[in-house]
Amino acid sequence: MTKHISKLLAVAGLAVLALLIVALLPLFAEAEEIVPQSRTEMELSFAPLVKQTSPSVVNVYTQKRVTSRVSPMEQFFSGGVAPRERVQNSLGSGVIVGADGVIVTNNHVVEGAESFRVVLSDRREYPAELVLADERTDLAVLKIDTNGAKLPTLPYADTRASQVGDLVLAIGNPFGIGQTVTSGILSATARTDVGISDYAFFLQTDAAVNPGNSGGALINTKGELVGVNTAIFSRSGGSNGIGFAIPAEMVKRVVNAAINEGSFVRPWLGLAGQAVSYDMAKAQGLDRPIGVMVTEVYDDGPADRAGLRRGDLVTDIDGREVFDEKGLKFLAAIKSPGETTELTLLRGGKQMTKKVKLAPPPGATEADVVLLDGQNVFSGARVVELSPRLAEENGLDPFQKGSGIYVHSVLRRSVARGYFRPGDIIRSVNGVQTKSVKDLKALLKPDTHTWNIELERNGHMIQGTVTL
């Protein structure tokens, strides 16, 4: 009898132990990250990760000629010396994304430069060719000739999986002191109100980023490129723990466009929108502000053809939440024209989805710019017809009302230089609306010496009469 009781107690004990283990399993599952418990754990290092990834980060050196102004006093005492010309050097960082020598960096690193030089981590140097520079995304693509040698590259991370709190490393050349690695975390994602770019959707990090880090790599613990470091928030010029990086998905899109297409054409949704306030969200029956309220739909544009309307509330694009128009534009721009994106929206309190086939904005581009000449007030002005595509290329409002001629640039020492500025929109001449460059040219008759001009400058209408 005693023997049977012992067996029953043993079985009961095992059952209790099994129940206890089952009860504690969730706690073990949640404890994936623990505080170091030993000296060995405390001595864990990023060194193997840095050794693997740092050869893919390079230094980018640029040169351009600048002319120094000579003061009136210097001209007087030197007998009218000509302005001095000197070579200005600058530096930044870059990331090798193609084993055949394709390197991505920031546009502001190479902007205005005439020659480029890339120095690898092992001190090999190569002259570089600028393949593409895009001011709107602040990205540029360089190419070096390695004579067939394969270079180490960084793979692109899927930043949709990136979360606030993820460990990251920033690799670059701050202040030109040499390759430097700093560590931190992702402190925010989808930053759109940074004021750097109208295609802003930045990753924010507290890893130290300083001047010279621009164009360098922000990597995760898998050794993948999370983003390209591009800016810092600082009043002193040094790192204050708030740095911004362009997400890898936009980097990949620009690099692919540069290598395969030769230019970067942003796809267009054909809609304008505004962020949702608390009161707007409440009116829509939402418990919090989310999404973008559609305020304009371009006739026969992608959104119009997909059936979107003014007043629709777009909450997601391809399953990713949006909170303002910049985020919406960014997530559309990481796709190519011709691809389809799916918008989730609320209309009259009902949720629905619309598939939008992306397309380039319509109309004239910078390739259609025309130089005006002759004996007239417009001589020396380079102009083009105002269009949604031109507006997108120059950061203008593609939905602005009225037609006109956009002044792209003005030649120095020209007649037009005294009257027009780049960015002016010529609305009418001598009472005739200027809808096309052809219309404007027809008004430039040799026997005309007086022009009554109506133009828009910085959002203000200006009207005046010029006589030559």
**DSSP states of 209-271:** --TT-TT-EEEETTS-EEEEEEEE--SSSS--S-EEEEEHHHHHHHHHHHHHTSS-PPPB--E
CB distance 107 to 250 below 8 Å: no
User: Is 270 marked as a binding-site residue?
Assistant: yes
Helix axis angle for 248-260 and 325-333, nearest 10°, is 40
**DSSP states of 275-341:** EPPHHHHHHTT-SS--SEEEEEE-TTSHHHHHT--TT-EEEEETTEE--SHHHHHHHHHTS-TT-EE
Catalytic residue, candidates 134, 138, 206, 324: 138
User: Is 262 marked as a binding-site residue?
Assistant: no
Task: Give burial (CB, 10 Å; 0-12/13-18/19+) of 68.
Answer: exposed
User: Is 187 marked as a binding-site residue?
Assistant: no
User: Is 272 marked as a binding-site residue?
Assistant: yes
User: Is 212 marked as a binding-site residue?
Assistant: yes
User: Is 213 marked as a binding-site residue?
Assistant: yes
Identity of the residue numbered 90 = S
Catalytic residue, candidates 162, 187, 214, 387: 214
- Straight-line distance from the first to the last Cα atom of the chain, in angstroms, rounded to the nearest whole number: 125
Active site residue 138: yes
User: Is 138 marked as a binding-site residue?
Assistant: yes
For tokens 């086939």, the residue is 357
Nearest residue to 334 (alpha-carbon basis) of 233, 256, 412: 256
User: Is 368 marked as a binding-site residue?
Assistant: no
Catalytic residue, candidates 56, 93, 108, 414: 108
CB distance 246 to 258 below 8 Å: no
d(CA 202, CA 162): 12
Which positions make up the binding site?
108, 138, 212-214, 269-273
Q: Which residues are catalytically annotated? A: 108, 138, 214
Binding residues for substrate: 108, 138, 212-214, 269-273
